[in-house]
Structure 1
Amino acid sequence: MDPRSARSDAESIWVNRVPEPRVGATRVHLDLRLADADPAAVLAAGARSVREPVDKAHWWVLADPEGNEFCAFPPPTTG
């Protein structure tokens, strides 16, 4: 499904695959708020883990299939 066809007024972001390899440094860094307490769904979609949460760095650092890193934060805790 093309995310641009979603029937929602919410902001959206998506990632498209391109045939060209990355040349040079990554120009954008994304932070992702996970829907679940862990990044299992993102990993199943093709990301790889670069760093697990540790100490005060309570988020994962993940990379897309081309090695572009992004941070993945667990959902906010309630209570």
Structure 2
Amino acid sequence: MVIDSTNAPVLADFWAAALEYEVEDPSALVEQLLAAGHLGAEAVVEHRGRKIFRGFAGVRHPEDPFDETSGVGHGRRLLFQEVPESKSVKNRLHIDIHSEPGGLDQLVTRLEGLGATRIQEFDKGPAGHWWLMEDPEGNEFCAA
């Protein structure tokens, strides 16, 4: 899944923590491409001590296979790409994060600590109880 962003590395950090995923580390590939002259310095930024591709950052599930050179996951993965405009309308697709039974309050508190915002609570009795939330860039998701 690819998600538009205004700051891909920061949003990747949020979602990695929220989903308990790992931020992909493309620094070995970036170094190889720079050394071979296949990539210019303008295409690279440093984030948290790693060289990454400007405008892109990915997160992957820690148990899924991945390419050791590029860091790219071959399973459950989100890629954040920078776009010039900020989010302006409701998402057509969103992520649900599920808590352990009875753990919704703890999950919502943890997500708020990472930078998420509570928007609206839904309690549909036997059909479910969840919170509509927003990530730091305003993308909606549900905590259930």
TM-score (norm 1): 0.59
User: Residues 15-66 of structure 1: CA distance to partner in whole angstroms, max 9, x if unpaired?
Assistant: 7484642255424211111257121111100100012343425111111122
Larger radius of gyration: 2
**Quick one: structure 1 residues 42 and 15, their matched pair in 2 at CA, closer, same or farther if it must change by over 3 Å?**
farther
Structure richer in strand, relative to its length: 2
Tell me whether 1:52 sits opposite 2:121 in the alignment.
yes
Long gaps (5+) in structure 1: 74-79
Give the 5 Å matches for 1:8-47.
Answer: 8-9=63-64, 12-14=76-78, 16=80, 18=82, 20=84, 21-35=86-100, 37=103, 38=105, 39-47=108-116
Ranked by relative contact order (alpha carbons within 8 Å, sequence separation 6 or more), the top structure is 1
Distance 1:71 1:15 in 2: 19
Q: Which has the higher helix share?
A: 2
In the TM superposition, residue 68 of structure 1 has moved relative to its aligned partner by 1.7
- Unaligned runs of 5+ residues in structure 2 are 1-22, 25-58, 66-74
Larger CA deviation: 40-49 vs 17-26: 17-26
Deviation of 1:13 after TM superposition, in Å, equals 4.5
Say if 1:44 and 1:15 are closer, same or farther in 2 by CA, change over 3 A. farther
Query: Once the two structures are aligned, what percentage of the paired residues are identical?
Result: 29
- The aligned amino acid for 1:61 is L
- Could you state the TM-score of these two structures normalised by the residue count of structure 2? 0.38
User: What is the alpha-carbon root mean square deviation over aligned residues?
Assistant: 3.2
